């Protein structure tokens, strides 16, 4: 993904990004696919919320004679619309390969109260993204930093401060479900 593939409406890194990383506030973003928006609008964001994809994966594994281990993923968040769009593209691609419904990327804005905002944590699972070596996400981060005339971060996953994953890479999560009252579907006006 390059910065030019992100619609201008979502390009917010110029306002959020410094060499120290992405600024944070009570507003977070979540990237998803259009096929999930109706459910999210009714039920909010839930941990491991893409029930359809989990069912399809479980069915596929059973068909090939393998087991499927259920896991409960948190709700992944970022402080940047631009990064949320990256994750929306990823979720959309995954769902389109499963369901072939022509879904499109969607970015949700989540504005939390100060009290609820304390439930958002840095996602140190980002270490796996770094250790993979040739990950699209790390390439995207590099493009975003460089398009803002900044040096892309080089994080050693063994020695990194856990806050680097939030500040430098925009990776966060929340284990609590997020009610519809906090969620807005972003649309270009």
Residue 2 is predicted with a pLDDT of 41
pLDDT for 58 = 54
Report the alpha-carbon distance of residue 58 to residue 34 in Å, rounded. Answer: 22
pLDDT score for 9: 94
Q: Is 100 left (phi over 0), alpha (psi -120 to 50) or beta?
A: left
Burial class (CB in 10 A: 0-12, 13-18, 19+), 132: exposed
Phi, psi of 95 (to 5 degrees): -65, -35
Tens of pLDDT, residues 13-61: 999 999 999 999 999 999 999 999 999 999 999 987 655 655 555 555 5
The torsion of the CA quartet 64, 92, 24, 153, rounded to 10 degrees, works out to 70
What pTM was estimated for this model as a whole? 0.87
Q: Per-residue pLDDT for 137 more than 50?
A: yes
How far apart CA 53 and CA 94 sit, in angstroms, is: 9
Q: If you average pLDDT over residues 136-160, what whole number do you get? A: 93
Contact between residue 81 and residue 7 where contact means Cβ atoms under 8 Å apart: no
- Residue 77: band (very low, low, confident or very high) from pLDDT cuts 50, 70, 90: very high
Structural domains in the chain (count) = 1
What pLDDT does residue 95 have? 87
Mean pLDDT value of segment 142-164: 94
Structural domain harbouring 173 = 3-185
- β-strand 21-22 against 120-122: which pairing, if any? unpaired
Which of 22, 21, 49 shows the shortest CA–CA distance to 33? 49
Q: How confident is the model at residue 1 (pLDDT cuts 50, 70, 90)?
A: very low
**pLDDT, the chain, mean:** 87
- Residue 74, burial from CB neighbour count under 10 angstroms (0-12, 13-18, 19+): middle
With 0-12 CB in 10 A as exposed, 13-18 as middle and 19+ as buried, what is 144?
buried
């Amino acid at each position: 993904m390059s910065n030019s593939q992100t619609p201008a409406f979502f390009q917010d890194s110029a306002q959020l990004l410094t060499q120290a990383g992405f600024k944070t506030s009570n507003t977070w973003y979540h990237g998803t696919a259009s096929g999930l928006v109706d459910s999210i609008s009714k039920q909010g964001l839930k941990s491991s919320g893409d029930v359809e994809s989990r069912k399809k994966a479980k069915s596929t594994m059973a068909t090939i004679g393998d087991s499927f281990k259920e896991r409960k993923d948190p709700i992944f968040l970022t402080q940047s619309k631009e990064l949320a769009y990256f994750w929306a593209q990823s979720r959309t691609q995954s769902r389109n390969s499963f369901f072939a419904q022509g879904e499109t990327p969607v970015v949700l804005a989540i504005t939390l109260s100060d009290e609820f905002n304390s439930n958002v944590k840095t996602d140190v699972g980002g270490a796996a993204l770094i250790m993979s070596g040739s990950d699209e996400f790390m390439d995207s981060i590099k493009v975003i930093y460089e398009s803002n005339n900044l040096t892309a971060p080089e994080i050693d996953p063994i020695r990194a401060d856990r806050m680097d994953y939030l500040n430098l890479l925009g990776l966060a999560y929340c284990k609590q479900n997020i009610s519809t009252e906090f969620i807005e579907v972003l649309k270009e006006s």
